[in-house]
Amino acid sequence: MVDYRLLEKTIKDSSKNEKQYLPVLSNTVSSIMDHIPGINWVGFYLKDEDGLYLGPFQGKSVTVTRLPEGKGLCASAMKKNDMVYVPDVNSFPDYVCDDASTDCALVFPLHANNMVIGVLLICSPILNRFSVSDRDNLRRLVTLLEKNTDFSQIAGSMPAATTEQPAKNHNMPFELWLYAIKGLAQTYEMVEPIYSQLSDQEKKALQEEYEKL
């Protein structure tokens, strides 16, 4: 079983007092690879004016340095501004292969200044490798990374995107509203399918957290 608390602490400690994002991303990749079994590729693709380029990663071989504009899992996660999970990559028509042994992939958008500046891609040679718990814990890890890392070199001077956060009076259950904020999803349609997979215990924890606000 993965000790996600230890993983989060390891990443938080490695980013403490570090102003450059590349060392932080490099240590994040190493920590994920070290702590989570059954994965064969972990890395970041970062955004520039030409699309997505390869950032720090760990895998078994040389990988794709540039991803096609608007195609693949990473582009899909950026467009949706939400996690994309594909239990079987053979079922995804635009999958761009980083490792031929990959059967399952998970992608999270990475944010700075309210903009998507890249993605975290995690691959596994095991079909349906990532449980709901894995996905939720990794989502929190990405949020932690965003809060503790200076991405100003990537975000640059581009204007911040104006996105509306879900409102409490949006006819969402209050637990769902909180999960939307925590998960960086912007609409009911984006967060509802994810929230619906949570256990009763996880939903209760969100309710208790909401009531403390």
| Higher per-residue pLDDT: 41 or 92 | 41
SS3 string of 125-159?
CCCCCCCHHHHHHHHHHHHHHHHHCCCHHHHCCCC
Query: Do 187 and 104 share a domain, yes or no?
Result: no
Are 203 and 145 members of one domain? no
Most confident of 96-100, 159-163, 169-173: 96-100
pLDDT in tens, 79-135: 899 999 999 998 887 777 667 889 999 999 999 988 999 999 999 999 999 999 999
Q: How far is CA 110 from CA 18, 98, 144, 168, in A?
A: 18, 19, 11, 25
- Say yes or no: 126 and 207 in one domain: no
Looking at 112, 128, 155, which one is the last position of a domain? 155
Q: Which of 17-26, 60-69, 85-94, 166-175 has the lowest mean pLDDT?
A: 166-175
Q: Are residues 191 and 95 in the same domain?
A: no
> Given this model, what pLDDT does residue 24 score?
95
Same domain, 40 and 67: yes
Specify whether the CB–CB gap between 127 and 104 falls below 8 A: yes
211 pLDDT higher than 90: no
Mean pLDDT of the chain: 81
What mean pLDDT comes out for the span 128-150? 93
Residue 69 pLDDT grade (very low, low, confident, very high; cuts 50, 70, 90): confident
Predicted confidence at residue 153, as pLDDT, reads: 87
Nearest to 165 by CA among 177, 147, 148: 177
Residue ranges with strand state E in the chain: 41-48, 51-58, 66-67, 84-86, 104-112, 115-124
Task: Report residue 90 as tokens.
Answer: 């053979």
Domain around 28: 4-155
How many domains does the chain contain in total?
A: 2
Rounded average pLDDT over 56-65 = 88
Q: State how far the Cα of 71 lies from the Cα of 157, in Å rounded to an integer.
A: 26
C-alpha span between 110 and 143 (Å, rounded): 8
Residues 104 and 61 in one domain: yes
